[in-house]
Amino acid sequence: MTYIPIADQPNELHDPHTFISKYVWSQDHKVIAIQYGSTAIFVGLIALVLSALMRLQLGYPDTFSFIDPADYYQFVTMHGMIMVIYLLTALFLGGFGNYLIPLQIGARDMVFPYLNMLSYWFYLLSVIILLASFFVPGGPTGAGWTLYPPQAILRGTPGADMGIMLMLASLAVFVVAFTMGGLNYVTTVLQARTNGMTLMRMPLSVWGIFVATILGLFAFPALFVSAIMMTFDKLLGTSFFMPAIQSLGETLNTAGGSPVLFQHLFWFFGHPEVYIVALPAFGLVSDVLSCHARKNIFGYRLMVWAIIIIGALSFIVWAHHMYVSGMNPYFGFFFAFTTLIIAVPTAIKVYNWVLTLWEGNIRLTVPMLFAIGFIFTFIHGGLTGIFLGNVTVDLPLSDTYFVVAHFHMVMGVSPVLVLYAALYHWYPKITGKMFNVTLGKIHFWATFLGTYAIYLPMHYLGFLGVPRRYYAMGNTDFIPDSAQALNANITQAAIFVGIMQLVFIFNVIWSLKYGKKSDPNPWDATSLEWQTPDNPPVHGNWGEKLPVVYRWAYEYSVPGAKDDFVPQSIAPEDVEMLEGEGKYVDRSEEH
């Protein structure tokens, strides 16, 4: 049989007819994206409440009777784990990956729709197992989101019995879900692009999600095996991570294992995980910036290569999380070197975002505000990363509030601002309705300024040497009372930001019902998803014929063209020009 590219094969989608097959057991990538997205946002809200509880204790110790030390460590642990894995990873890849990949590359759906559906249900199962751990005896694990053994599975740590087992089981199921989704994303990007959509014409959103997924497929197995090994240590009495030790006065029957081995496995997953979240954010924000600046993304090819290089380098920097772990300190030279190399492609991305604004024609829409906010917070978080990546500077700052402030700026606030930018940007496409702009702006200002009020001062507590993961500071000579006062202020800001997220939730739900009907392409954007025949796009996305792509996704403000954007799918001869400007010429690939 002769090979026919997917884009040229006849449309053989079988449209679902029942409510169940349309919205519940759906194989439509858009429905799955919404399922992924709303589940992720739901658990994210739980994690947000956990962080508020944790902040209440830190800001007002000795006050709230419902937060004892065990609770506190459980809040910290579950907050971190949910935010990193079950919110950020799931929303960027399961949510935006699912929604945007087929639409932006001109495919009718994912290559394996059934597997895609299973991916969501396994993800939901992992969430249910995770949440179940709140209701078992002993509660969820309080081992810190890094789950370091031996303490994670020993008495003395909250949830060291059922809690940690459910956590590990949930992670293992999550990895299964991710693998099913991830294989789909990669295959779809490689196989199902429509005619004319070369790799170097793909929007950066797809590039970011694509490379992040590849990272995930290599990195998550390390988490998977470490979860299995720790489960064995706990249940079967193996000693993968357990040397000969005592536990609260008892000599354990373990020997020969290495706790540092777990840390290597964890961070071999954990560092790429940072970029599994960051690369999709880089991609999405690039598209938002370019569209609302009415200007092509600056240096597209370098942006693509930066994504690829960052992705590759992210696998050889993991031990910078372990400078003071007791591993051979000579490793510090190598990992400090590789870590600071990553700063170069990352800085290039920042330059190019800012240069995209240069001589643009900037519309300060709600998504654009979030995108600009992201650049600010990402510069801040990136620069504090240079402190921690430099092994010497890490010595005094490791395990202090500085670390907490750094990773929240770079991996919490920054990706979340991109998520909001993206959610507002694609909301009209996903729902067919326009969100309320005033509420969106209120949400932006509260979130942007509020998070900075939380995290800027927190760095300075870290300089002072305030340790993280302390339920109460007690009597510590070098920590003045003013540090406690500052902690109370930080808590106030955190509670404020937390409450203001309800504005977003309200806006999403309210606009769904009462929002104005949106144009199919309200932002005058060039990429394919805005050119669908139906708004929101229906099952199969493109009607009878797939779109054909003629150029990159950033053809904004072309000199002489009538409109300030030229969609990817309009043939050159159909591009309307201003009078006396002659014919349209594609200059984007002149190099």
Partner 1 sequence: MLIAIAIVLLVIGSVLFHFMSPWWFTPIASNWGGIDNTIEITFWVAGFVFIAINLFMAYCIYKFGYNKNRRAIYEPENKKLEIWLTGITAVGVAALLTPGLFVWADFVNVPEDAHEVEVVGQQWQWSFRYPGADGLLGAADASNITPDNPFGMVPDDPNGQDDLLVSSKEMHLPLDRPVKLLLRSKDVLHNYTVAQFRVKMDMVPGSVSYMWLTPTREGTYDILCEELCGIGHFVMRGKVVVEDEESYSNWLDSQMTYAQLNAQAAGNPQIGQALYAVCSACHGANGEGNDALNAPNLTGLEPWYIKRQINYYKTGVRGGADDVVGMAMAPMAAILADDAAINNVAAYIDTLPDVSSPTTVAGDVEVGRALYEPVCGICHSEEGAGIWAVNAPALAGMSDSYLVRQLQNFKSGVRGAHQDDEYGFQMTSMVSALRDDEAINDVVSYINTLR
Per CB under 8 A, contacts with partner 1 among 20-79 are 61-65, 68-71, 73
Q: What is the nearest approach in angstroms of partner 1 to the Cβ of residue 204?
A: 13
CA 343 to chain centre: 19
Q: What is the nearest approach in angstroms of partner 1 to the Cβ of residue 485?
A: 10
446 lies in the site for partner 1, by CB under 8 A: no
Q: What is the nearest approach in angstroms of partner 1 to the Cβ of residue 381?
A: 11
**Binding-site member from 162, 379, 512, 548 for partner 1 (CB under 8 A):** 379
Nearest-angstrom CA–CA distance, 119 and 84: 18
- Closer residue to partner 1 in complex, CB, 205/296: 296
Interacting stretch for partner 1, rule CB under 8 A, among 98-106, 143-151, 230-238, 532-540?
A: 143-151
Per CB under 8 A, contacts with partner 1 among 458-497 are 460-461, 463-465, 467-478, 480, 482-483, 486
Q: What is the nearest approach in angstroms of partner 1 to the Cβ of residue 269?
A: 19
**Binding-site member from 490, 558, 570, 575 for partner 1 (CB under 8 A):** 558
Please name the residue ranges forming H helices in 314-358: 331-357
Q: What is the nearest approach in angstroms of partner 1 to the Cβ of residue 586?
A: 10
- Closer residue to partner 1 in complex, CB, 25/496: 496
**Binding-site member from 102, 142, 280, 367 for partner 1 (CB under 8 A):** 142
- What tokens were used for 96? 């935006």
Q: Considering only CA atoms, give the Rg of the chain.
A: 24
Interacting stretch for partner 1, rule CB under 8 A, among 30-38, 142-150, 193-201, 506-514?
A: 142-150
Nearest-angstrom CA–CA distance, 359 and 55: 43
Residue of 97, 455, 114, 117 whose CA lies nearest to 279 = 97
Report yes or no: 168 and 81 within 8 Å, Cβ to Cβ.
Answer: no
Omega cis (within 30) before 150: yes
Report yes or no: 50 and 78 within 8 Å, Cβ to Cβ.
Answer: yes
Interacting stretch for partner 1, rule CB under 8 A, among 113-121, 309-317, 377-385, 427-435?
A: 377-385
- Closer residue to partner 1 in complex, CB, 151/187: 151
- Closer residue to partner 1 in complex, CB, 175/461: 461
CA 517 to chain centre: 29
Report yes or no: 322 and 264 within 8 Å, Cβ to Cβ.
Answer: yes
Residue of 1, 3, 28 whose CA lies nearest to 17 = 28
**Binding-site member from 195, 392, 438, 489 for partner 1 (CB under 8 A):** 392
Nearest-angstrom CA–CA distance, 180 and 174: 10
Helical (H) or strand (E) element with 213: helix 204-235
Q: What is the nearest approach in angstroms of partner 1 to the Cβ of residue 6?
A: 29
362 lies in the site for partner 1, by CB under 8 A: yes
- Closer residue to partner 1 in complex, CB, 67/284: 67
Q: What is the nearest approach in angstroms of partner 1 to the Cβ of residue 252?
A: 9
579 lies in the site for partner 1, by CB under 8 A: no
Report yes or no: 266 and 193 within 8 Å, Cβ to Cβ.
Answer: no
**Binding-site member from 106, 457, 540, 567 for partner 1 (CB under 8 A):** 457
Per CB under 8 A, contacts with partner 1 among 276-315 are 293-296, 298-302
Phi, psi of 306 (to 5 degrees): -60, -40
CA dist list (Å): 480 to 343, 352, 454: 35, 43, 19
Per CB under 8 A, contacts with partner 1 among 256-275 are 256-260
- Closer residue to partner 1 in complex, CB, 90/369: 369
The one-letter amino acid at 541: N
CA dist list (Å): 554 to 117, 120, 327, 367, 527: 32, 32, 47, 17, 8
Q: What is the nearest approach in angstroms of partner 1 to the Cβ of residue 340?
A: 5
Per CB under 8 A, contacts with partner 1 among 312-341 are 324-326, 329-330, 332-333, 336-337, 340-341
Nearest-angstrom CA–CA distance, 398 and 402: 8
**Binding-site member from 40, 83, 372, 410 for partner 1 (CB under 8 A):** 372
Residue of 4, 11, 3, 1 whose CA lies nearest to 545 = 11
**Binding-site member from 369, 416, 508, 549 for partner 1 (CB under 8 A):** 369
522 lies in the site for partner 1, by CB under 8 A: no
Residue count, binding to partner 1 (CB under 8 A): 130
Nearest-angstrom CA–CA distance, 483 and 349: 36
Tokens 């810190």 locate to 144
- Closer residue to partner 1 in complex, CB, 145/504: 145
Q: What is the nearest approach in angstroms of partner 1 to the Cβ of residue 168?
A: 17
**Binding-site member from 23, 363, 506, 519 for partner 1 (CB under 8 A):** 363
- Closer residue to partner 1 in complex, CB, 271/459: 459
Per CB under 8 A, contacts with partner 1 among 223-252 are 243-249, 251
The one-letter amino acid at 9: Q
Nearest-angstrom CA–CA distance, 443 and 129: 32
135 lies in the site for partner 1, by CB under 8 A: no
- Three-state DSSP string of 421-483: HHHHHHHHHHHCECCCHHHHHHHHHHHHHHHHHHHHHHHHHHHHCCECCCCCCCCCCCCCHHH
**Binding-site member from 5, 237, 396, 533 for partner 1 (CB under 8 A):** 396
- Closer residue to partner 1 in complex, CB, 114/463: 463
